[in-house]
Structure 1
């Protein structure tokens, strides 16, 4: 087989579906649990932490930045919904591109997902430590020393709280998917309640003058804020990584993806309006636990800020758990295809979870969370995600052309216009990110290609 033929080889959709139907993972998740999985993976540090970084960039227009990021996510969510119903596998967009664009592009997509899931878990773990410190400060008057609660370059030496939350999530995942889903459902209810509480208090302090000027940094600030806040929508695709553990994947996966995105978008916009309306946008600069800071100022009562910090800790724990879950399932699918070592697709007979995979991923994420600053992690996550989302939109267009009669439980409306808009929006958001982020992304891609041509191309099951 020539090099060109090897990189372009594809897995037929029928083979992928059959693989999922006879997989080793246990089918135990219903629509409610799948929706909670996606909400759990999405609703977290983006609103609790990254909002504080986006407001100084966009000003009050951060509300529209959320809308911009949400519309970009919606185009891709529609494509995910169609493909998840057709190809219900743990590999998510990696599997979709394997069926349409060939093995090399599938590897690149999977490598981007490793960046998306692995790095986003690390970044939200960093945010968890920030809110833990806020809670300790409000409740007990002290905080974990900077040396032990922040990475090098951000005033610290090692982020111990971030390591702790990753280890806790790892323990839950090792107990099995059903047990992890139950724990996540409880945490999702807590964090939705926390954001509703924030809105109730902050809206009582909203002042119209805080919204003027609405675009102090112009349209460039609006789009830069949207690029940063796209990180807040990462995770709606988590349900697609549970394709082999869903009880009725063809019906429930599309519903879970779109339902979760709708719920999250409404909450984000309400919280953003309440936050910038209650506090002048200039006062967000440098605030790591932004929402807790808003309540601390407007209520003049540390109890509410402390309660929100508790909710944020629970919320971010849920994100760490669910996104770490998605990462392990992506590597599970890549391992089953032979592109990464076989040990990563071995399933524990008792718990039904990929044990070695979970341990390896958790160790990788814990190291990232311990030593890399949040801002760099969030931007690197966004660019990898946008690239993968763009490929999903392309996959929809290709399968509509190649297999127009294949049964679909959900169809993207207004295709091909909608998927094309999805590709264009992803490209626009990627171009809004800074040069340093592109440099990191390029280095990550080079490393991935070296691994593929040095290992994956020879070990592939299609070889």
Structure 2
């Protein structure tokens, strides 16, 4: 048992002995990290999630739901910020757990991150295909009723973005800046035009009396509560759990730490700033959404577009379509980048085949693992009904959040001497609150989601026992030296 609980020394996590953790070139600066965070946190959901949750779960109180979800994610973000400033490495929560709790727990978190990032890339690509087809149709172009066009578009976007990531981080960063700037302009137009058509009467009472649903309890919380409800405070908090899916992504900024200039200071600032900006933008769009139309008349399929049509501003539908397509494009791009860095770290530690940790001498990127990730994403998006599995993405992420929050508390006690570029204030109170908030969000997810998650983790544990435990570099009495590429700038 002691072998699977062996911990990675902090000096190994940051590459102080061999320089192996410095094989990726420094590229990102603080502003780039903010764009990276906004690239993944603000997708097409910004135009739909507020309306959908208002119509079905929280009413006008959905605005409070956005605030609650934002606070819960901010607590988790502060914990990520401290650990990233202590261990600026591309492994993110996987490496943090390796150092603090041990190898088997690190594998479990790494396996959860694989689920989060790989499945998310496929889910978002599938959604991108649907929205792209709808956007073309809204411009008056006839699209064949079959799904061939959508399948082709999904294939093309995944191949294109995988190629961009494989060919170089700088190319991907430039593309990200352009697309994020464009989608922020679209969102700005939605807010400015929407404000001019708000009817304050639509806000009514933020609190809508609870409504008991006839459906059987579907979430862990509902099983203990005894019944399913919508609206009321129960609905507001339930909507917050769904909305947390929109904010998820700031943790991917942590995977860029190894490639960031002055990472100990820059990564915490980049994560926190991007999350705060995204929260403000989401709340602003939610205020517009609820103010444009009564929540009882909001369409679940295209809430914001239908609201603008209801007030006679039909041309905004095209702005929303363009913003949604750009939004999802940047999400896919950042997800591939994040997944690449996590698998690269796991391969470098020997827990998965080390050949995946090869850095291309020509492009200075882990291009081999990037191509594998892109191929898997294509297979999932084209042949698996991934749109029904998006809650698994949320659960995998929240699972990592819980370990990071606990990790801050444990590391403060076990390793108080380590240099920290950022400290969570009021520790251990805020990390404990982060852990509780994360657990609350987790119990609001469906029982079926938990069942699939348990099966995935059980399979992952089997993979570790068969392969990872024996091939781990820490399992070797005299591990071979890792190649030192040197930390350089491009």
Structure-1-length-normalised TM-score: 0.93
Residue 108 (structure 1) shift: 0.8
Task: Give, in whole Å, the separation in 2 of the partners of 1:220 and 1:375.
Answer: 26
Match in the other structure for 1:294: 307
**Are 2:59 and 2:207, in contact at CA under 8 Å, matched by a contact in 1?**
yes
1:211 alignment partner in structure 2: 203
TM-fit CA distance, 1:112: 0.9
**Aligned CA distance change for structure 1 residues 427 and 328 (closer, same or farther; 3 Å):** same
Distance 1:417 1:174 in 2: 42
Check conservation: 1:206, 1:277, Cα contact below 8 A: yes
Correspondence 1:189 to 2:201? no
Any stretches of 5+ residues in structure 1 without a counterpart? 151-158
Deviation (angstroms), 1:374? 6.1
For 1:133 and 1:291, locate their aligned partners in 2 and report how far apart those are by CA, in whole Å: 18
Q: CA deviation at 1:327?
A: 0.5
1:7 paired with 2:4, answer: yes
Does residue 457 of structure 2 align to residue 445 of structure 1?
yes
Q: Which residue of 246, 260, 274 corresponds with 1:246?
A: 260
1:224 and 1:76 map into 2 onto residues whose CA distance is: 19
Separation of aligned partners in 2, 1:111 and 1:407: 28
| 3-state SS, counterpart of residue 272 of structure 1 | helix
- Do residues 427 (structure 1) and 439 (structure 2) align? yes
> What corresponds to 1:153 in structure 2?
none
**Aligned equivalents of 2:146, 2:69: Cα separation in 1:** 33
2:268 maps to 1:269: no
Q: Is residue 2:339 matched to residue 1:327?
A: yes
Distance 2:237 2:404 in 1: 23
Deviation of 1:197 (Å): 0.7
Q: Is the 8 A contact 1:43 1:315 kept in 2?
A: yes
Partners of 2:44 and 2:323 within 8 A in 1: no
Instruction: Quote the residue 2:14 is aligned against.
Output: 17
1:58 pairs with 2:72:
no
Q: How does 1:6-45 map to 2 (within 5 A)?
A: 6-18=3-15, 21-22=19-20, 23-45=22-44
After superposition, the C-alpha distances for 1:349-374 in whole angstroms (9 at most, x for unaligned) are 11111122111111222222234556
Change in Cα spacing, 1:352 to 1:50, as seen in structure 2 (3 Å) is: farther
- The answer for unaligned runs of 5 or more in structure 2 is 209-230, 476-490
Conserved in 2, the CA contact under 8 Å of 1:174 and 1:358?
Answer: yes
**1:73 counterpart SS class:** helix
Give the match for residue 118 of structure 1.
118
- Give the equivalent residue in structure 1 for 2:249: 235
- Displacement after TM superposition at 1:399 (Å): 0.9
Contact between 1:292 and 1:305, CA under 8 Å: does it hold in 2? yes
**Other-structure match for 1:46:** 45
Tell me if the contact between 1:210 and 1:279 (Cα under 8 Å) persists in the aligned partners: yes
- How far, CA to CA, are the matches of 1:367 and 1:430 in structure 2? 28
What is the alpha-carbon distance in structure 2 between the residues aligned to residue 239 and residue 93 of structure 1?
A: 11
* Structure 1 residue 21: Cα displacement: 4.8
* Alignment root-mean-square deviation, CA: 1.9
**Matching of residues 243-392 of structure 1 within 5 Å:** 243-287=257-301, 289-301=302-314, 303-373=315-385, 375-392=387-404
TM superposition shift of 1:89: 0.5
340-349 or 135-144: which moved more? 135-144
Q: 1:273-325: per-residue Cα shift (whole Å, max 9, x none)? A: 101211232344441x4433333333442x32112211221111011101110
SS of the equivalent of 2:196 reads helix
Contact 1:228 1:378 in 2 (8 A): no
Q: What does the per-residue CA deviation read over 1:358-406, in whole Å, with 9 as the maximum and x for residues that have no partner? A: 1111122222223455653321111111110110011111110012132
Aligned-pair distance for 1:407? 1.6
- Partner Cα separation in structure 1 for residue 118 and residue 391 of structure 2: 13
Deviation at 1:54, TM superposition (A): 2.6
Whole-angstrom CA distance in 2 between matches of 1:137 and 1:320: 23
Match of 1:156 in 2: none
When normalised by structure 2's length, the TM-score is: 0.88
Deviation at 1:168, TM superposition (A): 1.7
